[in-house]
Amino acid sequence: MATGFVCVATFRNLTEAHLAKGVLEAAGIDAEIRHGDVSGLEPHLPGGPRVELWCASGESLRARAELARGEQPAPPRLRASWTVVAILALTVTSILGWVRVWSLERPQASKGSWNLSGTAYADEDHGRERLSIDHDRNGVFERVELRGRGRLTTWLDADQDGFAEVFQSVEEAGGTSDISSDTDGDGEYDFDVVTVPGRGRVETTWVPPYLPVAHSRVLAPDGGLVAHFTDADHDGRFERGVFHVSDGLVITSEDRDGDGFFERREVMRDGGLVFWDRLRADGVIERGP
Taking the C-alpha atoms of residue 97 and residue 82, their distance in angstroms, rounded to an integer, is: 22
Question: What is the pLDDT, as a whole number, of residue 54?
Answer: 92
Confidence of residue 90 (pLDDT cuts 50, 70, 90): low
Q: What is the mean pLDDT of residues 216-225?
A: 82
pTM attached to this predicted model? 0.51
User: Which of 27-36, 105-114, 274-283 bottoms out in mean pLDDT, i.e. has the lowest?
Assistant: 105-114
Write down the pLDDT at residue 168: 85
Cα-Cα-Cα-Cα torsion 78, 80, 81, 86, nearest 10 degrees, comes to -100
pLDDT attached to residue 29? 92
Q: Quick check: 78 pLDDT over 50? A: no
pLDDT digits (tens, 9 = 90+) for 9-54: 988 788 888 888 988 998 899 999 987 765 444 433 344 457 899 9
- Which letter does DSSP use for residue 63 in this model? H
For the ranges 36-50, 54-68, 84-98, 130-144, the maximum mean pLDDT occurs at 54-68
Please, which pLDDT band fits residue 80 given cuts at 50, 70 and 90? very low
What residues contact residue 254 under an 8 Å CB cut-off, 6+ apart? 239, 240, 241, 262, 263, 264, 265, 266
Which residue, among 262, 245, 244, has the nearest Cα to 253 in the 3D structure? 262
103-117 average pLDDT score: 65
Q: Return the pLDDT at 45.
A: 39
pLDDT of residue 42: 43
What's residue 37's pLDDT? 66
| pLDDT at res. 74 | 43
192 C-beta neighbours (distance < 10 Å), count:
18
pLDDT, mean of residues 209-226: 76
Return the pLDDT at 92. 53
204 and 215 Cβ atoms separated by less than 8 Å: yes
Report the chain's mean pLDDT, rounded to a whole number: 76
Contact yes or no for 29/44 (Cβ under 8 A)? no
For residues 93 and 72, the answer to whether their CB atoms sit within 8 Å is no
Higher pLDDT, 263 or 62: 62
Determine if the peptide bond prior to 212 is cis (ω within 30°).
Answer: no
Question: What is the reported pLDDT for 108?
Answer: 56
**123 band by pLDDT with thresholds 50, 70 and 90:** confident
- Cβ atoms of residues 47 and 82 within 8 Å: no
pLDDT at position 186 over 60: yes
Between 187 and 129, the higher pLDDT residue = 129
- Report the pLDDT averaged over residues 141-170: 84
Give pLDDT, residue 100: 46
Report the relative pairing of strands 272-279 and 264-269 from DSSP bridges: antiparallel
pLDDT (mean) for 174-202: 81
Q: How many CB atoms lie within 10 A of CB 17?
A: 23
Confidence of residue 2 (pLDDT cuts 50, 70, 90): very low
Query: Sign of torsion, CA 116 97 13 36?
Result: positive
